[in-house]
Amino acid sequence: MNELGKLSDLPQSYRDALADQNLVPLWPSLRSLLPPTIPARQTRPTMWPYAAIRPLLMQAGALTPIEKAERRVLVLANPGQGLERMQASPAIYLGMQLLLPGEWAPSHRHTPNAVRMVVEGEGAWTTVDGEKLPMSRGDLILTPTGLWHEHGHDGSDPVVWLDVLDLPLVHYLEASYHVNGARQAVSVERGESTHARGGVLPTAGFQSSASAYPMLRYAWRDTRAALEQQARTQASDGPVQVTFVNPTTGADAQNILGFHALMLRPGEACTLPARSPASVWHVIEGAVQVTAAGESFEMGEADTCCSPGYVAIGLHNRNADAPSFLFIADESPLHRKLGIYEER
């Protein structure tokens, strides 16, 4: 490949004349914009052990009342992106949120899509679009773009969950904003009771509400049972994985980020192909070694790590006598919609 001209090859007077007119020569930057064969990635494989997060989050609970925070969150920031950018990957924001007994995080809505993966504690709930959703460990709760949501806690111990948002992308698009609202009136629970059985769904036209997001809570009990059933019926030639989908359309549960749960049989190891989207790995149950781009993370329950795109992912169930379960968030719906999705 031939060497392209550098900025310093150009006379200063010419560079100044360009800058005066808000013009920039392309050729000095062309190779870094379009590197050969594989993109440059800022995202560094990074693990955030829950044992390190938890005490700092509890300290935040003592230092900052909920009224002073609205959302009491420690952001899992990727050092490769720069901590101040508060992103795990190009499109993924991650945070660990603490709600203490009796606290209430007021209602608002915003353009970024969010999900919560419940890490610890019982008794909290999130009301989304008037639907009050109980939160238990391993449950996935959706708060899609534009829907009102607020959190409360009637239990007796701290509740912690992992927030996953497409905030970095929506912010980059200059489309990120919020609106505050009043406490929501709670209507009857819809999605979970009416859509949780994939094969039998409400008949079109019979139901009064036709929400674009018919299911807002995916109970861990059901997800786990689906994985175990598939592991029993699928030959043991690889891990079993399910994708959280919109039960009406079968498409990804949200527009930008993808969400999955993966089960590794006792002692199982595998290598997943290099895919273009960046990904996040969170242990719901068990113990898993995750290897990405030459980094290996020994992950236990509630630990979280991320990987850049375009690298293979190695998984190894560190438990020889019990299955392990991972929650995965990735940028695959975005890559597919943009037409840039690749597997290598």
What separation in angstroms does the CA of 122 have from each of 16, 141, 152, 159?
A: 62, 14, 11, 7
Helices (H) and strands (E) in the chain, counts: 7, 21
What separation in angstroms does the CA of 121 have from each of 53, 125, 192, 228, 342?
A: 15, 11, 21, 24, 38
Q: Work out whether 166 is an interface residue with ligand 1HN (CB under 6 A).
A: no
Give the shortest CB-93-to-ligand 1HN separation in angstroms.
6
- Whichever of 218 and 310 has its CB closer to ligand 1HN, that residue is 218
* Segment interacting with ligand 1HN, rule: CB under 6 A, options 10-18, 161-169, 182-190, 336-344: 161-169
Give the shortest CB-213-to-ligand 1HN separation in angstroms.
15
- Residue in the block written with tokens 């919109």: 246
| Single residue of 15, 41, 44, 71 touching ligand 1HN by CB under 6 A | 71
Q: Work out whether 191 is an interface residue with ligand 1HN (CB under 6 A).
A: no
Question: Structure tokens of 216?
Answer: 């807002």
Q: Work out whether 15 is an interface residue with ligand 1HN (CB under 6 A).
A: no
Q: Work out whether 140 is an interface residue with ligand 1HN (CB under 6 A).
A: no
Give the shortest CB-105-to-ligand 1HN separation in angstroms.
6
Give the shortest CB-311-to-ligand 1HN separation in angstroms.
27
Q: Work out whether 73 is an interface residue with ligand 1HN (CB under 6 A).
A: yes
- Whichever of 17 and 175 has its CB closer to ligand 1HN, that residue is 175
C-alpha–C-alpha distance, residues 304 and 299, integer Å: 7
Give the shortest CB-335-to-ligand 1HN separation in angstroms.
22
What separation in angstroms does the CA of 117 have from each of 11, 27, 68, 127, 173?
A: 56, 45, 24, 15, 26
Give the shortest CB-71-to-ligand 1HN separation in angstroms.
4
Q: What stretches of the chain show up as alpha helix (H) in DSSP? A: 12-20, 30-33, 50-63, 167-172, 191-195, 220-233, 332-338
Q: Is 285 helix (H, G, I), strand (E, B) or coil?
A: strand
Q: Which residues contact 205 (CB under 8 A, 6 or more apart)?
A: none
Q: Work out whether 265 is an interface residue with ligand 1HN (CB under 6 A).
A: no
| Single residue of 167, 170, 257, 272 touching ligand 1HN by CB under 6 A | 167
- Whichever of 152 and 258 has its CB closer to ligand 1HN, that residue is 152
Q: Which parts of 81-120 interact with ligand 1HN (CB under 6 A)? A: 95, 97, 105, 110, 114
Q: Is 205 helix (H, G, I), strand (E, B) or coil?
A: coil
What separation in angstroms does the CA of 340 have from each of 22, 277, 294?
A: 30, 9, 24
Q: Shortest CA distance to 201 belongs to which of 214, 182, 220?
A: 214
Q: How many residues bind ligand 1HN (CB under 6 A)?
A: 12
Binding site for ligand 1HN (CB under 6 A): 71, 73, 95, 97, 105, 110, 114, 149, 151, 163, 165, 167
